[in-house]
Amino acid sequence: MKKLLAASLFRLAVMSAHLTKAAMFARLRLTAGSGAPAILTDICTTDLLQILEQEGVLAYQASPSSLLANMDDMKVFFLTPNDRKALQAYIGFCSDQSEELEKLNAWNRTHCYSRAYLDDEGDAVLMLDLDMEGGVTRERIVDFIRTVYVSLRTFDEFLRTGDWDVHGQADGDDLPAVIGTGTMSIWKH
């Protein structure tokens, strides 16, 4: 009888620990008001549109899994795959294919957080990804949006001049207030 009671108490303690742990993670994911930021493991276009608008970025729903945003008069597609566990930014640039491949390779060798390539029509494309597997905060999504903004400005200048410093602006010092300020940067190695 004592063994049965002890085994039952042990199972109850284990279940309680699992429930407490599950409740703790649910609380982290669903509430940000308790001091701990909400952890998001996926994002839909509706939630992303709300974040973009709160950050002062004009955007609209282009399809069930994509938004089209206007950043510095440039079109940026924000894409959410079917499982919504990632966020991608896609920016296309009209370009001359003959000299672009060397520039794109130079960009990819010297920059983090983004990749550049030629699309099927020979135009330059800049892509950025945010993996949400394991969870991210809303602040990390805002940081990703800022990285997209700095990247598109830096990449546009790089394509036009071959220089990625953008006259000292690559560190984000002159970003508009609605996008934010700070030391967001595209790292050169």
Instruction: Provide the pLDDT for residue 58.
Output: 95
Residues 32 and 52 in one domain: no
Cα–Cα distance for residue pair 45/61, rounded to 1 Å: 7
State the helix-helix crossing angle for 97-110 and 138-161, rounded to 10 degrees. Answer: 140
Residues 99 and 184 in one domain: yes
Residues 113 and 181 in one domain: yes
Residues 7 and 79 in one domain: no
Residues 31 and 112 in one domain: no
Q: What CATH number does residue 104 fall under?
A: 3.30.1460.10
Residues 171 and 91 in one domain: yes
Cα–Cα distance for residue pair 66/4, rounded to 1 Å: 57
Residues 107 and 132 in one domain: yes
Which domain covers residue 84, as residue numbers? 45-189
Name residues whose C-beta falls within 8 Å of residue 156's C-beta, 6 or more positions apart in sequence: 74, 93
State the helix-helix crossing angle for 138-161 and 45-54, rounded to 10 degrees. Answer: 70
Residues 69 and 161 in one domain: yes
Residues 127 and 148 in one domain: yes
Residues 68 and 123 in one domain: yes
3-state DSSP of the chain: CHHHHHHHHHHHHHHHHHHHHHHHHHHHHHCCCCCCCCCECCCCHHHHHHHHHHCCCEEEEEECCEEEEEECCEEEEEECCCCCCEEEEEEEECCCHHHHHHHHHHHHHHECCCEEEECCCCCEEEEEEEECCCCECHHHHHHHHHHHHHHHHHHHHHHHHCCCCHHHCCCCCCCCCCCCCCCCCCCEC
Residues 139 and 153 in one domain: yes
Residues 83 and 166 in one domain: yes
Number of structural domains found in the chain: 2
Comparing CA positions, the residue from 174, 147, 158, 176 lying closest to residue 93 is 158
Instruction: Provide the pLDDT for residue 163.
Output: 64
List the pLDDT tens digit at each of the 189 positions of the chain. Answer: 445 444 444 444 434 443 333 333 333 344 445 577 899 999 999 999 999 999 999 999 999 999 999 999 999 999 998 788 999 999 998 876 666 788 888 899 988 899 999 888 888 999 999 999 999 999 999 999 999 999 999 999 988 887 655 433 444 444 333 333 333 333 333
Instruction: Provide the pLDDT for residue 35.
Output: 72
